C-alpha cells in the first residue's frame, strides 16, 4: 500500500504514515501563476493500493480540487485501487434540498469523486448517514465515539456526567456515547431561523448539578454550541464541556468558545488546527491518526472495518 498526502492536513497524514510505518509517497501538489493546481507523482504506483489523505475543509474548493486532480493522476498512473481518505467530508451539510431550486451538493461531490477515479471512500462521522447512499462505490464511515469515550473516562473519571445532544438531529450520536458511559442523556430543543443562526427553546432533561458534555459532529460558527452551553448553565449544570468531531471553527468561532461557559472543547485533528485554535485555552485536539491507520490497514488486508468499533 502507498499513502499520498495532499495539502489540507499534512501533520495528520504524517502521523498516519508513522502509525503504519510506511513513508509518504513522493508527490508534488503545486500551483501555476494563475492558481491552477498541478499534481506530479514521483513514484511508480502501477498495481498499488493507494490511499489519498485529504480533508475538504477550508479552503474547501481548493482542497476538493486538489483531491480530484490527485485521484485522476493516480488512475492514469494505473493504481490498482484508490481510496480517498477524507477525515472531514466537505459539503456534507448539503445532503438534501433545503428549499425550491437548491442543490444537493453532497451528491454532486460524490459523483465528482467517483468520476475522478476513487474506488473507495474512507471518512469520519459523516454529517448524515444517508450520504453513503450517494455513492455507487464502498464507503467506510468511521466513528469518533470510542475515541471520545476513552478520553472522557480519563479526564472526567467519577464525575456525575450527563451527555447532551445540542439538537434533535444529533440524538443518535449522543445516545451512543451515553450508553458506552452508562450515563443519562439530555436534548436541546432549538430552532434555526436561517443558516448559522439558532435559538435554544427548551432543555429536555434535568441537568441541575450534573457535569454536562455536549456531543456533536461539527462546530462551525460556534453559535449553536455556545447557546446550548449557556442554556445548560442557566438550568443549573455544575459544568459544561463539549466533544465535537470536526472543528471547522470559522469567523469568530474560537473567540465565541473562549467567551462561553464551555470549560473545554475537545475536537479531533480531522481538520488541521489554525494558530487561533492552538492558542485557545479551552480548545484541545485529540488525534484520529491511530483510528485512520487501523481502518486503512483493514481495507488493505480485506478485513473488517466495523470490528474496530465493537
Q: Which residues are annotated as a binding site?
A: 34-36, 93-94, 127, 167, 192, 216, 220-224
For residue 47, count other CB atoms closer than 10 A to its CB: 9
Q: Which residues are annotated as a binding site for D-ribose 5-phosphate?
A: 192, 216, 220-224
The helix-helix angle for 171-181 and 145-156 (nearest 10°) equals: 50
In which element (H, E) is residue 51 found?
A: strand 49-53
Q: Which three cell numbers stand for residue 151?
A: 478520553
Residue (of 23, 118, 36, 109) closest to 70 by Cα position: 118
Residue (of 308, 303, 264, 302) closest to 286 by Cα position: 264
Q: How is residue 216 annotated by DSSP?
A: E
Whole-number Cα distances in Å, 258 to 238, 261, 283: 18, 8, 8
Distance separating alpha carbons of residues 288 and 269, to the nearest angstrom: 6
Cell 475536537 found at = 267
Distance separating alpha carbons of residues 41 and 34, to the nearest angstrom: 21
For residue 276, count other CB atoms closer than 10 A to its CB: 14
Catalytic residue among 190, 208, 278, 281: 190
Q: Which residues are annotated as a binding site for Mg(2+)?
A: 127, 167
Annotated catalytic residue 190: yes
Q: Which residues are annotated as a binding site for ATP?
A: 34-36, 93-94
Whole-number Cα distances in Å, 203 to 37, 166, 184, 200: 48, 9, 14, 8
Distance separating alpha carbons of residues 304 and 249, to the nearest angstrom: 33
Enzyme catalytic residues? 190
Amino acid at each position: 500500500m502507498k499513502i499520498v498526502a495532499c495539502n489540507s492536513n499534512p501533520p495528520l497524514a504524517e502521523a498516519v504514515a508513522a502509525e503504519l510505518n510506511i513513508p509518504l509517497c513522493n508527490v508534488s501538489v503545486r500551483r501555476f501563476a494563475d492558481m491552477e493546481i498541478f499534481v506530479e507523482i514521483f513514484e511508480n504506483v502501477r498495481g498499488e493500493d493507494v490511499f489519498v489523505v485529504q480533508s475538504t475543509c477550508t479552503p474547501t474548493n481548493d482542497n476538493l480540487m486538489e483531491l480530484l486532480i490527485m485521484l485522476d493522476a493516480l488512475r492514469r498512473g494505473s493504481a490498482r485501487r484508490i481510496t480517498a481518505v477524507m477525515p472531514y467530508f466537505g459539503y456534507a451539510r448539503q445532503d438534501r434540498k433545503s428549499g425550491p431550486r437548491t442543490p444537493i451538493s453532497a451528491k454532486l461531490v460524490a459523483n465528482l469523486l467517483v468520476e475522478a477515479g476513487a474506488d473507495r471512500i474512507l471518512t469520519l462521522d459523516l454529517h448524515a448517514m444517508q450520504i453513503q447512499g450517494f455513492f455507487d462505490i464502498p464507503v467506510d464511515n468511521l466513528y469518533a465515539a470510542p475515541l471520545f469515550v476513552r478520553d472522557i473516562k480519563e479526564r472526567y473519571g467519577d464525575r456525575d456526567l450527563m451527555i447532551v445532544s445540542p439538537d434533535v438531529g444529533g440524538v443518535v450520536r449522543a445516545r451512543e456515547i451515553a450508553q458506552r458511559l452508562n450515563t443519562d442523556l439530555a436534548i436541546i430543543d432549538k430552532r434555526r431561523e436561517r443558516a448559522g443562526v439558532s435559538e435554544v427553546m427548551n432543555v429536555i432533561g434535568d441537568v441541575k448539578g450534573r457535569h454536562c458534555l455536549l456531543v456533536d459532529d461539527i462546530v462551525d460558527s460556534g453559535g449553536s454550541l455556545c447557546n446550548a452551553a449557556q442554556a445548560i448553565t442557566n438550568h443549573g449544570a455544575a459544568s459544561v464541556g463539549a466533544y465535537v468531531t470536526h472543528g471547522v471553527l470559522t469567523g469568530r468561532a474560537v473567540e465565541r468558545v473562549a467567551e462561553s461557559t464551555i470549560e473545554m472543547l475537545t475536537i479531533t485533528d480531522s481538520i488541521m488546527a489554525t494558530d487561533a485554535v492552538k492558542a485557545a485555552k479551552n480548545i484541545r485536539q485529540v488525534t484520529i491518526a491511530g483510528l485512520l491507520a487501523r481502518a486503512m490497514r483493514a481495507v488493505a488486508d480485506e478485513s473488517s472495518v466495523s470490528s474496530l468499533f465493537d
